[in-house]
Amino acid sequence: MNSNVQSLKAFLGQTGRVALVEVAATKGSTPREAGAFMLVSASAIFGTIGGGQLEFMAIDKARQLISPLEGEMAAKRPEGVLSGGTTRASSTAAATPPGGSAATLPSRGREARIEVDEVCATLDVPLGPEIGQCCGGRVEVLIRPVDATLEQELIAKAEAEEAHLPHVYLFGGGHVGQALAASLSLLPVHAVVVETRAEALEGMPETVETQLTPMPESAVREAPAGSAFAILTHDHALDFLIVAEALKREDAAYVGMIGSKTKKATFKNWFLKSADGSEAEFNRLVSPIGGNAVKDKRPPVIAALATAEIMTALVSHAAEASAAPEKAMAG
């Protein structure tokens, strides 16, 4: 399974210097939150701080810092430097994207500030018409070259984040399963496709883990707390078995089953009478996955709707989990 950590290591392992561009502080409405970062080399980027003119400016300044000519440029900088190592540039000049042309926009007294020392730069940028963005907030961006120590810090942080990604278990690798796996592969989740058929696991995205097992319900029992379970196998009886197991997990963030109203009603009857299930447990089941507001049964459409539904549930569950200790202390 390929991962974001592997991609990060591959980027950092390339030849040439790399700069870290990090959102240090924000005020008001901004594209990304404090802590968001990207890496910039002479010819490539990894990650994003939100795109737009702000990102163009940051990339341009980052490449200046890691350029072999930067040392010479720094030696010639004194006449443009104000006290405290601060340089002021008009917003029109700062907003010019690499290879682009400057827009003639009024500054309105809210010019961008660029602070530069020997090895780092700080951009303090208003996100208004001055640079062609209308977010309305302000962003402070720290740019610094990546040395061996910072490289290890970035890798360690990425490994810690990856270890705590929410798990999404997808049972079934059919047409909808393939589409849903592809959709989940783009998101910050640990997606796992569980199947009883080896051929159904062929062609899964590299970033998705696969499990071939004759007892898929065992994956439910072994899943970490806060996991999401989407059940859409080729066998209704198998679906019922897996869903029943998932509904026993009170710590599950989401339990969804593909199907019709008839399938859901049939499951409810079996679950309450034969699987020792309760009404409360059954009421936690989402079926059909993705809802029924959009009357389109094409696999990619179902996958898109289900992905949004799953991510909403994961974010809500995480917020509730983080708020629980505070509520307990307040009580």
Q: State the pLDDT at residue 133.
A: 65
Q: State the pLDDT at residue 68.
A: 66
Q: State the pLDDT at residue 162.
A: 92
Average pLDDT, the chain: 84
Which value, to the nearest 10 degrees, does the dihedral of the CA atoms of residues 285, 290, 296, 302 take? Answer: -110
pTM for the whole thing? 0.77
102 pLDDT tier (thresholds 50, 70, 90):
very low
Q: What stretches of the chain adopt beta strand conformation (E)?
A: 19-27, 37-40, 45-47, 86-88, 113-116, 121-126, 138-145, 167-171, 190-195, 209-212, 228-231, 254-257, 285-286
Statement: residue 262 has pLDDT above 80 = yes
Each domain of the chain, given as residue ranges in start order, spans: 16-160, 165-328
14 pLDDT tier (thresholds 50, 70, 90):
confident
**How many residues are present in the chain?**
331
Statement: residue 85 has pLDDT above 70 = no
137 burial class (0-12, 13-18, 19+ CB within 10 angstroms)?
middle
Could you give the CA distance from residue 71 to residue 78 in angstroms, rounded to a whole number? 13
**Token duo for residue 313:** 């549930």
Statement: residue 228 has pLDDT above 80 = yes
Closest by Cα among 266, 214, 210 to 243: 266
Q: In this predicted model, which residue has the larger pLDDT, 114 or 290?
A: 290
Statement: residue 9 has pLDDT above 90 = yes
Work out the average pLDDT over 50-67.
Answer: 91
Could you give the CA distance from residue 19 to residue 12 in angstroms, rounded to a whole number? 10
Longest Cα–Cα distance of the chain, Å, equals 83
Q: State the pLDDT at residue 109.
A: 39
**Token duo for residue 249:** 């997990």
Judge: domain 165-328, CATH 3.30.1370.110: no
Work out the average pLDDT over 279-304.
Answer: 95
Q: State the pLDDT at residue 2.
A: 63
**Lowest-pLDDT choice from 37-46, 55-64, 79-88, 280-289:** 79-88
